[in-house]
């Protein structure tokens, strides 16, 4: 399995930790966490080059879609795959997130034992 560097952005520290432990179950994944959209953008500008970004939708100040729009402006990140994570699991919203350019949506609460597999599935589905 290819090594995968994941950047996880979520304002909830507990969820960051659960997600970190979940992804840790897959030894080929490495993880960087960010507590806000701004922090994530800072990391990317500083040269962090994740293979996929897990982006929480509902965050104070800069939300997920906002972060996505900003990071697309960054050189080298025009194509970086983004997977939204959301607790608002209404189907109309899901399709809206896809329309924004995400390769997938993972609905919270997620199954921690298969989070890594979900990420890989979303990437595979996008042909990435």
Partner 1 sequence: MTANQAASRTRGVHLTTRELILSLALLTAVFAAISYAAIFWTSFGGATAIWPTNALALVAILRGPRGWIWRIGVLAALAVAMVAIMLYAGGNLVGALLVAAPNLLEVLVAVLLLSVFKLVGTDVTRPGPLFAFLACAAVAAPAAAAVAAAPVIVYATEYSFIEAAWISWVTDALSMMIIVPFGVVMTRDRLAALWRSTSDALIAAALFTAITVAVWFLVPMQPALIALTAPLAVLATLRFGAVGAASAVLWTGLLAIALHLAGLGSVSAGDVGLQTELFHLQLGLATLPLTTLPIAAVLSQLDRALQAAATAERARNAFESAGDAMITLNPSGSIESVNAAAEQMFGYSAEELDRRDVSVVLDLAEDGDGVFMQRLGASRRALAGGMVREVTGRRRDGKRFPADVGLGVMNLPTGPHVVAVVRDISARRRVEEMKEEFVSTVSHELRTPLTSIAGSLGLLAGGAAGPLPEKAARLVGIAHANSQRLVRLINDILDIEKLESGKLTLDLSIVDLGDIAARSVEAMRGLADDLGVEITLRHGEPAPVRGDPDRLMQVVANLLSNACKFSPTGGEVTVSVDPRARIARLSVQDQGSGIPEAFRSRIFSKFAQADGSGTRAKGGTGLGLAIAREITERHGGRLWFESPPGRGATFHLELPLSSGDATVPQDGPRLLICEDDALAGEMLRQMLEHDGFAADVVGTGDQTLRAARTGWYAAVLLDLHLPDMDGVALIRALREDDATMHLPVVVVSGNVADGQERGGSLEVVDWLAKPFDQARLRSAVTAILERRSDRPLVLHLDDDRDTLEVTASALAEIADVVTADNLSSARTILSDRRPDRVILDLGLPDGSGLELLPDLEAAHGSAPVVVYSAQELDADLANRVDAVLVKSRTSLTGLTRLVRDLTAKSGEPSQ
Cis status, amide bond into 114, omega within 30 of 0:
no
**Separation between Cα atoms, residue 112 and residue 118, nearest integer Å:** 10
Residue whose CB is less far from partner 1, 14 or 78: 14
Residue whose CB is less far from partner 1, 17 or 45: 17
Q: Whole-number minimum distance, CB 72 to partner 1, in Å?
A: 20
Residue whose CB is less far from partner 1, 43 or 59: 59
Q: Whole-number minimum distance, CB 110 to partner 1, in Å?
A: 7
- Alpha-carbon Rg of the chain, whole angstroms? 13
Q: Whole-number minimum distance, CB 10 to partner 1, in Å?
A: 9
Residue whose CB is less far from partner 1, 25 or 74: 25
Question: Which residues are near partner 1 by CB under 8 A?
Answer: 12, 14-15, 17-19, 21-22, 24-25, 58, 87-91, 108-113
Cβ contact 68:47 at 8 Å: no
**Separation between Cα atoms, residue 33 and residue 44, nearest integer Å:** 12
């Amino acid at each position: 399995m290819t090594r995968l560097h994941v950047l996880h952005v979520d304002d909830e520290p507990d969820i960051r930790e659960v997600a970190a432990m979940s992804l840790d179950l897959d030894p080929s994944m490495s993880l960087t966490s960010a507590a806000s959209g701004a922090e994530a953008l800072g990391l990317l500008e500083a040269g962090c080059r994740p293979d996929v970004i897990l982006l929480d939708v509902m965050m104070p100040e800069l939300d997920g879609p906002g972060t996505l729009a900003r990071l697309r402006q960054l050189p080298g990140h025009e194509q970086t795959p983004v997977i939204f994570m959301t607790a608002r699991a209404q189907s109309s919203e899901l399709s809206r997130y896809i329309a924004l350019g995400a390769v997938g949506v993972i609905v919270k609460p997620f199954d921690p034992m298969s989070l890594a597999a979900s990420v890989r599935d979303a990437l595979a589905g996008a042909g990435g």
